[in-house]
Amino acid sequence: MTKKILVTEDLVQEGIDALRERGYEVDVLIDPSAEQLVAAIEPYEALIVHPNTRVTPALLDAAKNLKIIGRAGVTVDNIDIDAASERGIIVCNAPTSNVISAAEHTMALLLSAARHIPAASASMHRGEWNRGQFMGTELYGKTLAIFGLGRVGGLVAERAAAFGMNLIGHDPYCSPERALHLGVTLYDEVEPVLAMADFITVHLPRTVDTLGMFGADEFAAMKDGVVVVNAARGGIFDVKALADFVAAGKINAVALDSFEVEPCTDSPLHEFENAILTPHLSPMTFEAQRRASTQIADYVSAGLEGAMVATAVNLSPLPPEVLDSVGPYVPACKMLGHMVSQILDGTPKTLKVELAGSIRDADPAPLVAAVLDGGLSYRRIGSFTAANAESIAARHGIAVTTSAVHDAQEYASAVRIVADDVEVAATLYGTDHAPRIVSLMGYKIDIAPAKCSLVFEYVDAPGRIGVIGTILGEAGVNITTMQIGTKAGEGCALVYINVEGDVDDAVLERLRGAIDLRNLWKIVL
């Protein structure tokens, strides 16, 4: 039976033609209401959506045959990814389709703000000739601060360098090697960057950490007469605070292409002639739209055929031979990556993934991708997959190696990862392949991790467990399971405790003060 694809995005025709040439039946339903989409979705195995199309649990409940959802662009905020994952539906995007267009639009905004081009053009259209009113500034020799040195930020750096700008930046996930290659002087803190910059541009995802990242304090710390640009994601600038500093003359000009709520037809910045506002034009070029259309056609087709989807943001189907061998370990490895990132409280420089026992001869690439995804997925749009893990790891300055060993000790198979000096290993048990931690920091344990866990490492002595239990009990924290691990030849112990609910910082400080600890980690999975 012919597989059916529903498209709610006004795709460039090349993408639709590519799908039809592969034998798919493609129907186009532009800008449907939620009710129309729920009524129509059942027979379709794939859905390609417009950013205004909301993919909700109710829609997914009606999508009885849906296998993959594609977004012909970068953002997937309109898709309930958790709900799709629960139903085994892949969500993918086309994250590289518009990077050149976004970088070029950023440069257009920088130049327009520096030379007052929109205001000068409007003046000319009014029949005026006011050259002196629009005295501008050159980019040459000025300092450009770039916040976010991913794909688009890197392209902006290359283009700004051609204008002779001095480049500085802040990106905690950019490796020093990448910054050096781009010619950007990297700073660990935001404040010194703000004070030095003549121009500021942001290329960050919208996350809990970046939403409202630039507010009144940050604007006050900027150089007088600075120009600020955002062609990335709305909400990174506090627009109300920004408008106050534009009105006061502290900020010479602002150029925004993205807004927290879109469409945006009114804002505190609309009244200012030196505020350049464009309706999210960064991806709006013929070339970018063509790339987005053809790329998403390729990815959706791959998903329907059971191949690896390079840009899957949640699930990525593995070939049958790989699925049989390592597929069950993918969720466990993602969990290990998430755990290690919390213990390290940062990005590792080195990562080793070791396959042991019956999986030792399997392709390690999906498991490496899963480990990286668990540790780094919150830092970016999209997901690590076997196809892109190596390149993204390199961009984050992570050197990845893999190995295989015959002996999994008393287990049939296991995966062990070492990130810098943090070691953790897991095996699977039961028909549902639930993960169990079998080693942590070299201590042998055997425990199924809960959503919230506490891990203690201390010099072993009588009464330690009693003290821990008393403090947690007084705080109303219930211990569900616990494992104690030891190392041969050492007088230390590691205690892994699963608890119900959360443990606040005050309780953690009490625990640190009550026991002579080497380490205490709270792990939330």
Domains in the chain, number: 4
The conformation of residue 75, written as its DSSP 8-state character, comes to -
Q: What is the DSSP letter of 223?
A: P
**Residue 456 belongs to what domain range?**
450-525
Same domain, 256 and 289: no
**Whether 280 is catalytic:** yes
- 182-198 confidence digits (pLDDT tens): 999 999 999 999 999 99
Give the angle 416-91-419 at the CA atoms, nearest 5°: 20
pLDDT of res. 1: 78
Ramachandran angles phi, psi of 493, nearest 5°: -130, 155
**Model pLDDT, residue 382:** 47
pLDDT at 322 over 70: no
As a whole number of angstroms, the distance between CA 472 and CA 515 comes to: 13
- Angstrom distance (rounded) from CA 228 to CA 222: 10
Last residue of a domain, one of 264, 293, 317: 317
Q: Is 190 among the domain residues?
A: yes
Q: What is the pLDDT of residues 194-233, one digit of tens each?
A: 999 999 999 998 888 899 999 999 999 999 999 999 999 9
Structural domain contains residue 261: yes
Q: Is 71 exposed, middle or buried (0-12, 13-18, 19+ CB in 10 A)?
A: buried
143 shares its domain with 226: yes
Q: Tell me what the mean pLDDT of segment 234-251 comes to.
A: 97
Question: Domain holding 25: CATH number?
Answer: 3.40.50.720
Could you tell me if 243 and 111 lie in one domain?
A: yes
**Which residues share a beta bridge with 256?**
230, 277
Which CA distances in Å does 309 have to 92, 165, 304, 349? 7, 39, 10, 27
- Here the tokens at position 479 are 């211990």
Which of 30, 29, 17, 22 lies closest to 2 in space, CA to CA?
Answer: 22
Per-residue pLDDT at 379 exceeds 60 = no
Per-residue pLDDT tens over the stretch 485-498: 988 777 889 999 99
Question: Which tens digits make up the pLDDT trace of 342-361?
Answer: 999 888 899 999 999 989 88
104 and 89 in a single domain? The answer is: no
Residue 366: the pLDDT is 84
User: Is the residue at 445 inside a domain?
Assistant: no
Statement to judge: residues 249 and 389 lie in one domain: no
Q: What is the pLDDT of residue 381?
A: 38
Q: Enter the tokens of residue 265.
A: 């037809």
Burial class from Cβ neighbours inside 10 Å (0-12, 13-18, 19+) for residue 180 reads exposed
The mean pLDDT of 25-41, rounded to a whole number, is 95
Do both 104 and 235 map to the same domain? yes
Tokens of 243: 């408008």
Task: Indicate the burial class of 250 (C-beta count within 10 angstroms; 0-12, 13-18, 19 or more).
Answer: middle
Q: Of 158, 177, 262, 474, which is the active-site residue?
A: 262
- Is there a single domain that holds both residue 122 and residue 265? yes
Q: Which amino acid is at 237?
A: F
Question: Which one is catalytic: 54, 87, 159, 280?
Answer: 280
Average pLDDT, the chain: 91
What per-residue confidence (pLDDT) applies to 380? 47
Structural domain contains residue 455: yes
End-to-end distance of the chain based on CA atoms, in angstroms?
41
Give the per-residue pLDDT at 391.
Answer: 76
Is the predicted pLDDT of residue 298 greater than 70, yes or no?
yes
Residues 386 and 468 placed together within one structural domain of the fold? no
Question: Could you tell me if 522 and 496 are in contact, meaning their C-beta atoms sit under 8 angstroms apart?
Answer: no
Are both 337 and 418 inside the same structural domain? Answer: yes
Calculate mean pLDDT across residues 266-286: 96
Q: What is the rounded average pLDDT of the residues 411-418?
A: 94
233 counts as catalytic:
yes
- Dump the DSSP string for 263-329: S----TTTT-TTEEE-SS-TT-SHHHHHHHHHHHHHHHHHHHTT---TTBSS--PPPHHHHHHHTTH
Within this chain, do residues 158 and 184 fall inside the same structural domain, yes or no? yes
CA atoms within 13 A on the CB side of 370: 24
Query: What mean pLDDT is predicted for residues 375-395?
Result: 65
Q: What is the pLDDT of residue 327?
A: 75
Q: Which among 233, 360, 380, 464 is annotated as catalytic?
A: 233
At 122 the pLDDT is: 96
Q: Indicate which CATH number applies to the domain containing 330.
A: 3.30.1330.90
CA distance 215 to 448: 43
Beta strands per DSSP E along 108-198:
143-147, 166-170, 185-186
| pLDDT for the residue numbered 459 | 87
Residue 513: give its domain's CATH number. 3.30.70.260
Please report whether residue 42 resides in a domain. yes
Whether residue 13 is contained in a domain is answered as yes
Say what the pLDDT of residue 387 is: 63
- CA–CA dist 51, 431 (Å, integer): 39
Secondary structure letter of residue 347 according to DSSP = -
Is 455 in the same domain as 420? Answer: no
Under the banding of pLDDT at 50, 70 and 90, the label for residue 46 is very high
- Within its chain, how far is the Cα of 349 from the centroid? 19
Which residue reads 């890197």 in tokens? 154
Do 412 and 288 share a structural domain?
no
